[in-house]
Structure 1
Amino acid sequence: MNWKTDLRASDLDADMRLELTCRLCGAVRSLPAEAILARRGGAMLYLDQVEARARCRQRGCNGPMRLALLRTGDASGFVGGIA
């Protein structure tokens, strides 16, 4: 089990973006979560199913894509310590 098999497309916020990287040619594209949600039945797909269906759009490639979540929020470092 990993995060792709645990999360459905309906669990994502509409403003989140997914990054798809081609495993063959290395082309990268960004996909908004609302594009998946707009498709019929897209909200019920798990993210591993989205990744399995995604194909590269570069001319002549059509390779499989690797899915990653893009975080647009602020990052915070570790602020705890040993007490």
Structure 2
Amino acid sequence: MKTIGLFSLLTVSVFACDLTKIKDGMASCDSLGSADAKCNDRACHKALHYLVDEDTIKCYVSLGLGPASDLNKYVDLDKYCHGE
């Protein structure tokens, strides 16, 4: 009989709806000039991965910050940065 640890079978995803993280992420990209500068900036690039996440977009809307379409510019920028 083969024993498999319980923890190897479970994947836990924890998401916290964080107003500050959203606003800081947006600011880290918005403060830069060109799309290339935004892609090359570590803080902005990291923020993009957070800002384009479906849970973050839902959070943005649920906090009353605006419609999901407000984040389209970050989705487009993320695609540009990744050559899509």
- TM score, norm. by length of structure 1: 0.22
Higher alpha-carbon Rg: 2
Which structure carries more strand by proportion? 1
Which structure carries more helix by proportion? 2
Q: Which has the higher contact order (CA 8 A, sep 6+)?
A: 1
